């Protein structure tokens, strides 16, 4: 089998890349180890930057997103017995975020690819990439019925997430890793209950961080800061609600509505970047190249920004033979990647409880929160990063 671009991974990065390339006349094959049902049900991020929404709408996959996505014009920071709003409409006029589940984006992209006849091979195993430093790279894998396949291609896109195979296939000594681990994880909870607030609540408490988000008028999404090695079995639904109440019912008049828990899981928190994001004919995009702690809601949005740049670079190379954009791909991505790294680390330290903090450290955190929520300059820093800075190529 042969294609122009072999894409490993059918997450948001791989699927969007395949779709954007198709619209520009470039063929690709997407290889995914999980089943279609699995990737469509996997609950993850939910906050889309304006630029991400615009990218999906312009690419013709934003119809349901426009109908069902929830536009938000602010968030609340809750701490010290009160809530303070970061008002996007005032601080960053005309910019907003949209709450729409990542798995809904994935469903929309899969539907579009399949409608266009785009090959997505689900449930493949043993994916391996070969001859990355040659002009004729290839990918081998085992199909769902056990048949061995070699896919020849011009380039390979590594969109297989943090635990994928493409990044580890780059020879030793090529990549520099920048990394930080955090001494906590997030317990994510999806519940069939109406949201208890109209906007997202980021809560800092002495018991740890809590986030109240949502998916629809009937479904709420919550996160709790927990120990890094937290055992899900220790979190029956009653304990989840009890802890969410303790961390969120901290301001007068706020009551948390509760309901059946639909899904729960523990996500470790890390910051991670590899440089460069490419080697020979392999280009990494999204979580395969970088991870942020989720507090800034940047992971999915960064994947989209990478894919926009990779699409333009590939279109330029296939249509004119010029490799200039491809050669500059990693450098072009990394500017936004590092801005998001800083913002995500900053939001994480602003809002989480660090056991290592002494009394002085806790006072500093409160001073930081007071400043961010009362100074227009500081609040604007949060707001402009949260809604998403313009793409480099924007005017
Ligand atoms: P992924 O979505 O990870 O997609 C990679 C795909 O590659 C997957 O479908 C995987 O099955 C496939 N794959 C992996 N290895 C192979 C292989 N060897 N062969 C073939 N296919 C392979 N971000 C937020 O902003 N907020 C959140 O709340 C949030 N929660 C998260 C929870 C979890 C558990 C995780 C892992 C991430 C979370 N993120 C969150 C981050 C956000 O979801 C990611 O940044 C986003 O999914 C990146 O998209 P991607 O396409 O690069 O990678
Ligand atoms: C959601 C996830 C985040 O990481 C975040 O910062 C805000 C919202 C969510 O899943 O809804």
Distance CA 61, CA 57 (A): 6
How many angstroms is it from 319 CA to the middle of ligand 1?
31
Nearest to 218 by CA among 257, 254, 247: 257
Kindly state if the Cβ of 97 falls inside 6 Å of ligand 2: no
Q: Is the CB of 196 under 6 A from ligand 2?
A: no
Tell me the whole-structure pTM to 2 decimals. 0.97
Instruction: For ligand 1, atom 12, name the residue with the nearest CA.
Output: 9
Note the pLDDT tens digit of each residue in 141-174: 999 999 999 999 999 999 999 999 999 999 999 9
Ligand with smallest separation from the Cα of 267 = 1
What is the reported pLDDT for 40?
A: 97
45 lines ligand 2 (CB under 6 A): yes
State the distance from the centre of ligand 2 to the C-alpha of 392, rounded, in angstroms: 24
Written as six digits, the tokens of 163 are 């635990």
- Both tokens of residue 57? 């709408």
Q: Which of 12, 47, 48, 99 to mutate to test the pocket of ligand 2 (most atoms within 8 A of CB)?
A: 47
Nearest Cα residue to atom 2 of ligand 2: 45
Q: How far apart are CA 112 and CA 395, in angstroms?
A: 30
Contact (CB, 8 A) for 75 and 202:
yes
* Nearest atom within ligand 2 for CA of residue 43: 10
Give per-residue pLDDT as tens, 274-291.
999 999 999 999 999 999
Low-confidence ranges of the chain (pLDDT < 50): 395
Tell me which residue has its CA closest to atom 25 in ligand 1: 297
- Neighbouring CB atoms inside 10 A of 147's CB total 8
Query: Distance (Å, rounded) from C-alpha 249 to C-alpha 236?
Result: 20
Annotate 81-129 with DSSP letters as a single string.
Answer: TEEEEEEHHHHSTT--EEE--HHHHHHHHHHHHHHTT--EE-S-EEEEE
Cα 195 to ligand 2 centre (Å): 14
Q: How far is the CA of 93 from the centre of ligand 1 (A)?
A: 31
Closest ligand 1 atom number to CA of residue 285:
52
Q: Is 64 helix (H, G, I), strand (E, B) or coil?
A: helix
Ligand 1 and 286: CB distance under 6 A: yes
Residue with the two structure tokens 């990693």: 330
SS3 134: coil
Cα of 43 vs centre of ligand 1, distance in Å, is 10
Q: How far apart are CA 16 and CA 102, in angstroms?
A: 12
d(CA 311, CA 325): 10
Determine the atom of ligand 1 nearest the C-alpha atom of 15: 51
39 lines ligand 1 (CB under 6 A): yes
- Answer yes or no: is the C-beta of 212 below 6 A from any ligand 2 atom: no
Using a 6 Å cutoff on CB, does residue 310 contact ligand 2?
Answer: no
Examine the predicted complex and report whether its ipTM is higher than 0.90.
yes
The answer, yes or no, to whether any atom of ligand 2 lies below 6 A from the CB of 294, is yes
CATH class, 5-72+96-178+270-355 region: alpha beta
302-350, pLDDT tens digit by residue? 999 999 999 999 999 999 999 999 999 999 999 999 999 999 999 999 9
Predicted confidence at residue 392, as pLDDT, reads: 79
Just list the catalytic residues: 72, 202, 294, 298, 386
**Residue 30 Cα, ligand 1 centroid: separation in angstroms?**
15
């Amino acid at each position: 089998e042969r294609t122009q671009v072999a894409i490993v991974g059918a997450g948001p990065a791989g699927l969007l890349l395949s779709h954007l390339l198709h619209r520009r006349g470039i063929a690709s094959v997407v290889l995914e180890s999980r089943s279609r049902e699995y990737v469509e049900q996997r609950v993850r991020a939910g906050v889309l930057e304006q630029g991400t929404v615009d990218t999906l709408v312009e690419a013709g996959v934003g119809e349901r997103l426009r109908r069902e996505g929830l536009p938000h014009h602010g968030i609340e920071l809750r701490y010290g017995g009160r809530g303070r709003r970061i008002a996007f409409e005032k601080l960053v006029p005309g910019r907003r975020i949209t709450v729409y589940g990542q798995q809904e984006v994935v469903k929309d992209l899969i539907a579009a690819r399949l409608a266009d006849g785009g090959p997505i091979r689900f449930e493949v195993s043993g994916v391996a990439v070969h001859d990355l430093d040659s002009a004729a790279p290839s990918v081998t894998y085992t199909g769902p019925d056990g048949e061995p396949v070699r896919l020849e291609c011009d380039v390979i896109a590594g969109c297989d997430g943090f635990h994928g195979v493409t990044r580890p296939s780059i020879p030793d000594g090529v990549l520099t890793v920048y990394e930080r681990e955090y001494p906590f994880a997030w317990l994510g909870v999806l519940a069939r209950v109406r949201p208890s607030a109209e906007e997202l609540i980021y809560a800092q408490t002495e018991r740890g961080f809590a986030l109240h988000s949502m998916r629809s008028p009937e479904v709420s999404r919550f996160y709790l800061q927990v120990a890094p090695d937290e055992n899900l079995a220790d979190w029956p639904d009653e304990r989840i609600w009890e802890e969410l109440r303790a961390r969120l019912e901290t301001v007068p008049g706020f009551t948390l509505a509760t309901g059946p828990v639909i899904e729960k899981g523990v996500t470790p928190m890390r910051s991670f970047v590899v440089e460069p994001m490419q080697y020979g004919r392999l280009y990494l995009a999204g979580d395969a190249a970088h991870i942020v702690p989720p507090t800034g809601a940047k992971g999915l949005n960064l994947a989209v920004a990478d894919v926009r740049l990779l699409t333009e670079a590939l279109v330029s190379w296939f249509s004119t033979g010029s490799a200039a954009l491809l050669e500059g791909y990693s450098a072009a991505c990394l500017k936004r990647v590092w801005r998001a790294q800083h913002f995500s680390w900053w939001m994480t330290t602003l809002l989480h409880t660090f056991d290592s903090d002494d009394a002085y450290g806790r006072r500093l955190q409160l001073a930081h929160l007071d400043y961010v929520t009362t100074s227009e300059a500081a609040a604007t820093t949060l707001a402009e990063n949260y809604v998403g800075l313009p793409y480099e190529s924007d005017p």
